[in-house]
Amino acid sequence: MKFEDLVVWRRSARLSAELYKSFTDCKDFGFRDQITRSGLSIPSNIAEGSERNSKKDFIRFLHYAKGSCGELKTQIYIGIDIEYIEPIQGKSWLNETRELSAMLVGLISSIEKQLITEG
At 8-54, the pLDDT tens digits run 999 999 999 999 999 999 999 999 999 999 999 999 999 999 999 89
Spatial CA neighbour of 107 closest among 15, 28, 5: 5
CATH code of residue 110: 1.20.1440.60
Q: Is the pLDDT of residue 86 over 90?
A: yes
List all residues 6 or more positions away from 116 whose beta carbon is below 8 Å from its beta carbon.
none
H or E element that contains 84: none
Q: How many domains does the chain have?
A: 1
From the CB of residue 81, how many other CB atoms can be counted at a distance below 10 Å? 11
Residue 1 pLDDT exceeds 90: no
CA nearest neighbour of 50 among 17, 94, 12: 12
Instruction: Kindly list the distances between the CA atom of residue 82 and the CA atoms of 20, 74, 87, 106, 117, in Å, as whole numbers in the listed order.
Output: 18, 12, 11, 33, 49
Q: What is the pLDDT of residues 101-113, one digit of tens each?
A: 999 999 999 999 9
Q: How far apart are CA 70 and CA 28, in angstroms?
A: 21
Q: Please tell me the predicted confidence (pLDDT) of residue 115.
A: 86
Q: Given pLDDT bands bounded at 50, 70 and 90, which one contains residue 119?
A: low
Residue 48: domain span: 3-118
Q: Is the pTM of the predicted complex or chain greater than 0.85?
A: yes
Helix or strand or coil: residue 28?
coil
